[in-house]
């Protein structure tokens, strides 16, 4: 075992050396973000990203590269949004705003109404029961908890108002909703993201406003009634066919045991999708590049999957799960990178309750090899695009970089290549490739 450990330590060091000196994640990301840009599912940019990443995987000399079709929604934003405080103690002024993904538009005449502020669904229901919501615009203003060290936990504690707020407000007769942007940062940048309409409930427009404007609006409401005008031009068009992009190195001994690495290729249209999730895609591609360039011959099949439509539908993930389960595939492990391209901190493990504890114990035996690179393991969530593989009873892993600045950029126009540090990005590729190497060499019982 000591000889194996020495051999493993040497190989992992070579992975890091290769990633930092010759890794391809950053050059690929530069093209994906700068030359292609935001890649909303169904858009021409998403189609260009599919073709570009397929070509890059083809150049590696993999055993298989192919596209997997999926039907995706085609939501378009239209002309820039207008959200204007039309009547208040401070007069009239515009708010920094962005329509939420999947939202209906207001129509050309817009919507004007008084604002009612709430911070919870219980508060909304109480006001609605008194008739205080009908004919109003509901303003959801619950902050992400600043005391949460894990910013994803803070996000999880606030994002329900963005996702479900429109339908919940519509049940009480609201005309539209404004939602505080999902970030701890105080700035003038609105954050988009998906909203989900409940079947059978009237669909009303949903718009996010910046945190600074949320605070300003809340202060004004404490002084007097505030009337707001909203005009948006977004619409849901006919669904179109898009694709997951898949490349793999076939295993020499256990080809039917799969190790997946992946991220989602689509992004929001407001920025370039650099951290979310161009970084995860190019890191996953880089895993295959690094292992190939080091001459590593895997025992198990290593598969890179670039999923389409995670942001506003999860169509790519669902298509992948359906095909995989229909083929009775076994994903021994799946690693998703969808938390940005920041400094690696480790991996979060998830899986079927019947097997998670035993597989996690085995995972932690590799800590002495990974801790020198600042990597640790924890249990928790893995990722949306691999979540449907849980019943295969493999190990699901989420790549965990430092999260403190992720929600500064998440779903905004500032999620651009300039926000990504090349060294941090390549360290993420190395971390993922190192874990894939250990998973492949030793397997999981």
Percent share of the chain, pLDDT over 90: 97
pLDDT per residue as tens digits for the range 316-372: 999 999 999 999 999 999 999 999 999 999 999 999 999 999 999 999 999 999 999
pLDDT per residue as tens digits for the range 41-75: 999 999 999 999 999 999 999 999 999 999 999 99
- Kindly report the CATH number that applies to the domain delimited by 2-75+238-442: 3.40.630.10
pLDDT per residue as tens digits for the range 410-420: 999 999 999 99
Show the beta-strand stretches assigned E in 88-213: 93-94, 97-99, 111-118, 137-140, 176-180, 206-209
pLDDT per residue as tens digits for the range 21-42: 999 999 999 999 999 999 999 9
Task: Work out the mean pLDDT of the chain and round it to a whole number.
Answer: 98
Q: pLDDT at residue 80 above 60? A: yes
pLDDT per residue as tens digits for the range 262-293: 999 999 999 999 999 999 999 999 999 999 99
pLDDT per residue as tens digits for the range 190-220: 999 999 999 999 999 999 999 999 999 999 9
Percent share of the chain, pLDDT over 70: 99
CA atoms within 13 A on the CB side of 375: 28
CB-count burial class (<10 Å; 0-12, 13-18, 19+) for 21: exposed
- Residue 300 — pLDDT band, cuts 50, 70, 90? very high
Q: Show me where the domains of the chain are located.
A: 2-75+238-442, 78-233
Q: What is the pLDDT of residue 202?
A: 99
Kindly state the tokens that stand for 198. 């409940």
Q: What is the pLDDT of residue 4?
A: 64
The rounded distance, in Å, linking the Cα atoms of 28 and 44 is 18
Q: What fold does the segment set 78-233 form as a domain?
A: Glucose Oxidase; domain 1 (3.50.30)
3-state secondary structure of 102: coil
Q: What is the pLDDT of residue 91?
A: 83
Q: What is the pLDDT of residue 1?
A: 45
Contact between 303 and 260 (Cβ < 8 Å): yes
- Residue 5 — pLDDT band, cuts 50, 70, 90? confident
Q: What is the pTM of this model?
A: 0.96
Q: What is the pLDDT of residue 217?
A: 96
Count other C-beta atoms under 10 Å from residue 260's C-beta: 28
What secondary structure, in 3-state letters, does 9-66 show? HHHHHHHHHHHHHHCCHHHHHHHHHHHHCCCCCCCHHHHHHHHHHHHHHHCCCCCEEE
CB-count burial class (<10 Å; 0-12, 13-18, 19+) for 230: buried
pLDDT per residue as tens digits for the range 214-251: 999 999 999 999 999 999 999 999 999 999 999 999 99
pLDDT per residue as tens digits for the range 175-194: 999 999 999 999 999 999 99
């Amino acid at each position: 075992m000591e000889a194996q450990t020495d051999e493993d330590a040497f190989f992992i060091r070579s992975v890091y050396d290769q990633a930092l000196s010759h890794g391809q994640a950053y050059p690929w990301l530069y093209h994906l973000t700068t030359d292609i840009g935001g890649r909303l599912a169904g858009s021409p940019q998403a189609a260009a990203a599919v073709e570009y990443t397929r070509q890059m995987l083809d150049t590696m000399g993999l055993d298989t590269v192919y596209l997997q079709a999926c039907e995706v929604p085609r939501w378009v934003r239209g002309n820039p949004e207008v959200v204007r405080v039309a009547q208040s103690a401070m007069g009239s002024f515009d708010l920094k705003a962005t329509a939420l993904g999947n939202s209906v538009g207001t129509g050309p005449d817009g919507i004007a109404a008084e604002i009612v502020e709430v911070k919870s669904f219980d508060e909304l229901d109480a006001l609605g029961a008194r008739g205080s919501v009908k004919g109003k615009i509901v303003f959801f203003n619950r902050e992400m908890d600043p005391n949460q060290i894990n910013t994803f936990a803070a996000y999880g504690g606030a994002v329900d108002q963005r996702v479900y707020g429109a339908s919940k407000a519509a049940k009480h007769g609201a005309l539209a909703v404004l939602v505080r942007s999902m970030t701890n940062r105080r700035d003038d940048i609105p954050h988009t993201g998906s909203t989900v309409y409940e079947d059978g409930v009237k669909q009303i427009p949903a718009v996010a406003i910046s945190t600074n404007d949320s605070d300003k609006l809340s202060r004004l409401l404490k002084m007097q009634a505030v009337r707001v005008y909203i005009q948006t031009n977004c619409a849901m068009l006919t669904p179109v066919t898009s694709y997951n992009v898949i490349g793999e190195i076939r295993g020499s001994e256990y080809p039917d045991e799969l190790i997946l690495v992946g991220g989602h290729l689509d992004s929001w249209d407001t920025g370039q999708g650099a951290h979310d999730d161009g970084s995860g895609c190019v890191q996953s591609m880089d895993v295959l590049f690094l292992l190939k360039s080091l001459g590593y011959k895997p025992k198990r099949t290593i598969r890179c999957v670039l999923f389409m439509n995670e942001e506003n539908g999860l169509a790519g993930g669902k298509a992948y799960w359906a095909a995989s389960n229909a083929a009775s595939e076994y994903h021994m492990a799946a690693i998703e990178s969808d938390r940005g391209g920041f400094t690696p901190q480790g991996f979060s493990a998830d899986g079927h309750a019947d097997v998670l504890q035993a597989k996690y114990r085995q995972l932690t035996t590799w800590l002495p090899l990974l801790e020198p690179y600042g990597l640790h393991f924890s249990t928790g969530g893995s990722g949306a695009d691999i979540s449907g593989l849980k019943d295969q009873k493999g190990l699901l892993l989420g790549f965990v970089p430092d999260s403190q600045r992720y929600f500064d950029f998440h779903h905004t126009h500032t999620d651009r290549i300039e926000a990504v540090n090349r060294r941090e990005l390549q360290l993420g590729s190395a971390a993922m490739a190192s874990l894939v190497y250990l998973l492949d060499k030793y397997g999981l019982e």
